[in-house]
Amino acid sequence: MTRKTARIFATVLSLALACFASLAFALHPKEFQSAEEEQRYRALAKELRCVMCQNQSLADSPAGVADDLRLQVLTLIREGKTDREINDYFVARYGEFILYRPRVEPVTWALWFGPFVLLLVGAGVIVVIVRRNAAAAQNIVQSDDRQEW
């Protein structure tokens, strides 16, 4: 490539990138109308899970889908929806999975209470084992007292 062709190519490429960057800023506004709106937006983005990344919140996810979901959150906030209504909207669309803190319902009881039940069962097993070992040790001590050396 000649220098002139390389300059033309670089100019066209930089103009294309500038256009795409301006579109990205237009789709995802970085300015909020109020501090309350920004606070609600950030709180909701932390509570909702990215449907693509699965282990990241919307606030942390770099995925393009997360950008769309963040924009939807901001749109719903600006429509005057409450946080509960916004969460309900996303749950209706993506299921309970999208919530980092699932609601306490019969379907999620195992998720909420399962670890405590397992902890209690484990503690019970340990108590039973310790008592059996203590009783066995007591029997050994009693049987040793009767023997003459």
DSSP conformation class of 60: T
Tens-digit pLDDT profile for residues 80-97 = 999 899 999 999 998 888
Domain 32-103, CATH: 1.10.8.640
CB 44 within 8 A of CB 71: no
DSSP assigned state of 49:
B
Out of 1-15, 50-64, 109-123, least confident range: 1-15
Collapsing DSSP to helix, strand or coil, 140 comes out as: helix
What distance in Å separates the CA atoms of residue 91 and residue 80, rounded to the nearest whole number? 18
Query: pLDDT tens digit string along 45-80?
Result: 888 988 887 788 888 888 888 888 898 999 999 999
Residue 57's SS3 state is: strand
Looking at the predicted structure, is the pLDDT value of residue 9 above 60? yes
**Which whole-number Å values give the CA distances from 78 to 7, 34, 43, 83, 120, in the listed order?**
44, 11, 15, 12, 46
Q: Where are the alpha helices (DSSP H) in the chain?
A: 3-27, 35-47, 64-78, 83-94, 109-146
Which residues touch 138 (CB under 8 Å, ≥6 apart)? Answer: none
Q: Are the beta carbons of 56 and 75 closer than 8 angstroms?
A: no
Residue 104 amino acid letter: V
- Residue (of 69, 72, 77) closest to 38 by Cα position: 77
pTM of model > 0.85: no
